[in-house]
């Protein structure tokens, strides 16, 4: 057990807000903090591999739910286990890698080598003409929308998933033979997140992959440039600006295409033409007829996991009643779970439900697709979320409620886009200012930031054509 690191040269992991807070704390206690270590993120002052490190005494891992997993992965990358410390309450413990973990890792490496050989044989000897859309844990909106359109055009198009729950979509489980077999033989694999599973890593080297990703990032992100095995056939986004200036620095790909995001097709379609898969049974029109036109509050997730409702629900309810409006809350799963528990909500995982005592305020199911609803939204309320870039295609007012502005920018550090251009709408920092902005937009029918939205849309070079047909056409012509 170690209680003080005064005078020692240390690295801190991971490169998230908790790691940065630990680094600040240790510096105040006169430790010599050299930099940050992270298994995924890259950036100034962040290393990923032991050969990138200066001479150091300890690598300290901040307390957290994945601490042991982070430590194990760092050892497997080559960091010395005896130099790794795990932060505990008021002290630090040397990480014990152990003989069993060491042997298990060696067996795993041999298994991976054998699997690579097998996948190479299958993919080269028995290639399929089927396009596979791949996802893990949940089906995000770009994959969902693109697969839905592609499967209508070519019914043999497959959806393959891992650890999917609460879905009625027809998919093959990658943990079954049929799912793994389809993935190994795929004509190409389309995805919209970064996955690091053993089988998928091998597939990504052997089969053409198209990365849709899941948004234009305002916040700095890790990307995959530090993974040497990744060189996707194409990287797709909705912005020519990001494809020229941002994404090539973050993601490995042979080409960067401004086809557009399939989920954004809803902003260009009539309601009957939209992809309504994975949405609640209740439709926007039901809410509008009941409690008025829709505002959506869709904030970004704070990495430290904390959340407090940044405005008074009773005051917001009064404003909604006064203006005949409905407010829909769309939160990150961790935040939504807190709200569900606080209000004792039932069936909130698959239904849009109003909060007790606040009939005009609704919680949207956190794992469901909100994009068809955004197309019918009068005002988007957000903060630093990339949904603001997507909503430019709706050409409707936005309010940027940045109540923790100073703290958030301090914690997140580097951003991908000039902050003075990002907020193409009302920038507000206090509850009173939020209510005033919503009142002005609604009562006066005021759209004072339309010109700024159009200017930003032009700078981004956003694709204003349907993305799903273009994606399918690209796959048919190029693969």
Half-sphere exposure at residue 357, Cβ-oriented, CA atoms within 13 angstroms: 7
The fold of the 274-460 domain, in CATH, is Rossmann fold (3.40.50)
- The CATH code for residues 9-94 is 3.40.50.720
What confidence score (pLDDT) does residue 196 get?
84
- The CATH code for residues 108-260+466-478 is 3.40.50.11820
**What are the residues whose beta carbons fall under 8 Å from the beta carbon of 354, sequence distance 6 or more?**
360, 361, 362, 363
pLDDT digits (tens, 9 = 90+) for 369-410: 999 999 999 999 999 999 999 999 999 999 999 998 888 877
Query: Measuring CA to CA, which residue among 109, 371, 360 is closest to residue 265?
Result: 371
Interval 227-233 mean pLDDT: 89
Cβ(91)–Cβ(1) below 8 Å: yes
What confidence score (pLDDT) does residue 283 get?
85
pTM here is 0.84
Half-sphere exposure at residue 78, Cβ-oriented, CA atoms within 13 angstroms: 7
Q: Measured between alpha carbons, how far is 171 from 164 in angstroms, rounded to an integer?
A: 9
9-94 and 274-460 agree in CATH topology:
yes
pLDDT digits (tens, 9 = 90+) for 43-56: 778 998 899 999 99
Residue-range domain boundaries for the chain: 9-94, 108-260+466-478, 274-460
pLDDT exceeds 90 at position 227: no
Q: Measured between alpha carbons, how far is 151 from 113 in angstroms, rounded to an integer?
A: 34
């Amino acid at each position: 057990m170690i209680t003080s690191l005064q005078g020692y040269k240390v690295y801190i992991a991971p490169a998230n807000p908790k790691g940065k807070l630990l680094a600040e704390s240790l510096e105040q206690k006169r430790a010599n903090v050299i930099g940050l270590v992270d298994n995924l993120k890259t950036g100034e002052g962040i290393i990923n591999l032991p050969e990138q490190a200066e001479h150091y005494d300890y690598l300290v891992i901040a307390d957290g739910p994945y601490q042991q997993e982070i430590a194990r992965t760092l050892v497997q990358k080559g960091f010395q286990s005896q130099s790794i410390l795990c932060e505990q309450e008021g002290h630090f413990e040397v990480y014990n890698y152990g003989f069993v973990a060491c042997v298990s890792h060696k067996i795993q490496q041999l298994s991976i080598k054998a699997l690579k050989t097998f996948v190479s044989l299958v993919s080269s000897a028995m290639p399929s003409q089927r396009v596979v859309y791949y996802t893990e844990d949940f089906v995000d909106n770009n994959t969902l929308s693109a697969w839905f359109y592609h499967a209508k055009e070519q019914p043999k198009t497959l959806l393959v998933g891992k650890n999917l729950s609460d879905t009625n979509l027809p998919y093959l489980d990658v943990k079954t033979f049929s799912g793994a077999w389809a993935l190994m033989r795929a004509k190409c694999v389309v995805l919209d997140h970064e996955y690091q599973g053993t089988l998928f890593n091998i597939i990504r080297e052997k089969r053409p992959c198209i990365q849709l990703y899941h948004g234009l990032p305002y916040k700095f992100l890790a990307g995959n440039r530090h993974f040497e095995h990744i060189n996707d056939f194409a990287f797709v986004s909705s912005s020519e600006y990001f494809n020229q200036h941002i994404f090539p620095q973050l993601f490995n790909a042979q080409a960067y295409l401004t086809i557009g995001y399939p989920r954004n097709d809803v902003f260009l379609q009539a309601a009957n033409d939209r992809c309504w898969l994975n949405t609640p049974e209740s439709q926007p029109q039901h809410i509008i007829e009941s409690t008025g036109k829709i505002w959506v509050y869709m904030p970004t997730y704070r990495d430290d996991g904390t959340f407090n409702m940044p405005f008074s629900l009773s005051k917001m309810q009064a404003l909604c009643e006064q203006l005949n409006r409905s407010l829909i809350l769309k939160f990150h799963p961790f935040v939504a779970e807190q709200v569900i528990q606080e209000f004792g909500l039932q069936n909130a995982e698959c239904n849009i439900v109003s909060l007790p005592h606040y009939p005009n305020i609704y919680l949207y199911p956190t794992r469901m697709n909100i994009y068809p609803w955004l197309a019918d939204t009068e005002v988007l309320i957000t903060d630093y979320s990339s949904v603001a870039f997507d909503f430019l295609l709706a050409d409707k007012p936005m309010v940027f409620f940045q109540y923790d502005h100073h703290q958030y920018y301090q914690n997140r550090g580097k951003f991908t886009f000039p902050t003075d251009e990002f907020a193409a709408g009302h920038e507000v920092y206090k509850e009173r200012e939020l209510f005033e902005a919503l009142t002005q937009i609604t009562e006066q029918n005021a759209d004072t930031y339309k010109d700024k939205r159009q200017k930003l849309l032009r700078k981004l070079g956003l694709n204003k054509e349907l993305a799903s047909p273009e994606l399918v056409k690209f796959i048919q012509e190029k693969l």
